Amino acid sequence: MNIEAGFIVTIAILALVFVTVSKGMRIVPQGTEWIVERLGKYQCTLLPGLNFLIPYLDKVSYKLVTKDIILDVQQQEVITRDNAVIFINAVAFIKVTNPVKAVYGVTNFSEAIRNLIMTTLRSIAGEMELDSALSSRDKIKARLRESIADEAIDWGLTVKSVEIQDIKPSPSMQKAMELQAAAERERKAMVTRAEGEKQAAILEAEARLESARRDADAQVTLAESSAESIRRVTASLGSEPTPMLYLLGEKYISSVQKLAASENAKVVLLPADIQEAIGGLIGKAIRPNGLA
């Protein structure tokens, strides 16, 4: 019995030593830091590597990741300044720079920074109009990061970046925007078409004006030519009427021949002085016979 009791005691002592040593030696992985409390009060921060504690007095209360943390900020509904409804969500990249503040400064720093980003984002987008909110992601991101930087420092965090994942209007607003865009495209098409018709009308009017000007110049030139020809004919004929009558008769006969040769001619054109012409011919025919 004494041997068995001694063996049990030895095993208990060895187990106690093992547990004591395991509690006094801690290996912290790279990329993490551990918060140690002694009797419920903050004692120290364990850095990556081998660390020693006082067994049964020191306790590892928190294990924090010091690598960059990705926080997905859920989609939320925001009303802009012009009473339009949009949906917006983001993603934040933060890093724990002061583990003590991150643990004791706020209950849950991840949830706290997420709610802070959502509230600030809603406030920033609510001050903007719809068109500005949809087209100013960089501006929203810069203002958001600037607004939450101080609070993040108080919580032992560094906000490395906040990216706006998506900004989109509500389905009803999106439909209204599509209708507006279609109406705007139609208006521009009508303006373009009207401008084209205006230019065409202007060019057509300028063409008619140029044509009329050229016709007028041609008529003036023709009139001057006719006047010049008349002057020359008058100068060449002098005061004798016979050459003038000959020329007029020649023109008259030529015009009658053209009318007679036309396929659409339905009227036989007779000279206006046919009676005098016939009488003259008959008189000439009788006079020689009478003389004879």
Return the C-alpha torsion angle 204, 207, 209, 214, nearest 10: -160
Task: Give mean pLDDT, residues 195-223.
Answer: 85
Task: Give mean pLDDT, residues 189-209.
Answer: 86
Q: 21 vs 230, which has greater pLDDT?
A: 21
Task: Give mean pLDDT, residues 117-142.
Answer: 86
Comparing 29-43, 65-79, 91-105, 183-197, the range with the smallest average pLDDT is 183-197
Q: What are phi and psi of 129, to 5 degrees?
A: -80, 165
**By the 8 A CB rule, do 166 and 120 touch?**
no
**By the 8 A CB rule, do 95 and 66 touch?**
yes
Residue 244 has pLDDT above 70, yes or no: no
Bridge partners, residue 50, by sequence: 27
Residue 207 has pLDDT above 80, yes or no: yes
Q: 240 vs 193, which has greater pLDDT?
A: 193
Residue 19 has pLDDT above 70, yes or no: yes
Q: Tell me, what's the pLDDT at 290?
A: 44
Residue 37 has pLDDT above 70, yes or no: yes
Residue 59 has pLDDT above 50, yes or no: yes
Digit-coded pLDDT (tens) for 101-123: 999 988 888 999 999 999 998 88
Confidence of residue 241 (pLDDT cuts 50, 70, 90): low
Task: Identify the top-confidence range among 163-167, 252-256, 262-266.
Answer: 163-167
Task: Give mean pLDDT, residues 259-279.
Answer: 58
Domains, the chain, ordered by start: 2-65 (no CATH), 69-169 (3.30.479.30)
Comparing 9-13, 75-79, 120-124, 213-217, the range with the smallest average pLDDT is 9-13
- In 39-179, DSSP assigns E strands to 41-46, 49-52, 58-65, 69-79, 85-96, 157-169
109-126 vs 137-154: helix crossing angle, rounded to 10: 140
Comparing 56-60, 118-122, 143-147, 185-189, the range with the smallest average pLDDT is 185-189
Tokens of 21: 């040593």
Confidence of residue 286 (pLDDT cuts 50, 70, 90): very low
Residue 228 has pLDDT above 90, yes or no: no
Task: Give mean pLDDT, residues 134-140.
Answer: 85
Digit-coded pLDDT (tens) for 65-82: 999 999 988 888 888 888
pTM over 0.75: no
Task: Give mean pLDDT, residues 153-171.
Answer: 86
Query: Which of 87, 34, 100, 91 lies closest to 65 in space, CA to CA?
Result: 34
**Integer Cα distance of 217 and 206 in angstroms:** 16
Q: How far is CA 150 from CA 98, 147, 155, in A?
A: 14, 7, 9
Question: 67-76 as b/e, with b when 16 or more CB fall inside 10 Å?
Answer: eebebebeee
Task: Give mean pLDDT, residues 187-191.
Answer: 84
Q: Tell me, what's the pLDDT at 22?
A: 76
The per-residue pLDDT of the chain, averaged, comes to: 80
Query: Which of 149, 143, 101, 105 lies closest to 125 in space, CA to CA?
Result: 143
Percent of the chain at pLDDT > 70 equals: 77
The CA-CA-CA angle for residues 110, 121, 98, to 5°, reads 30
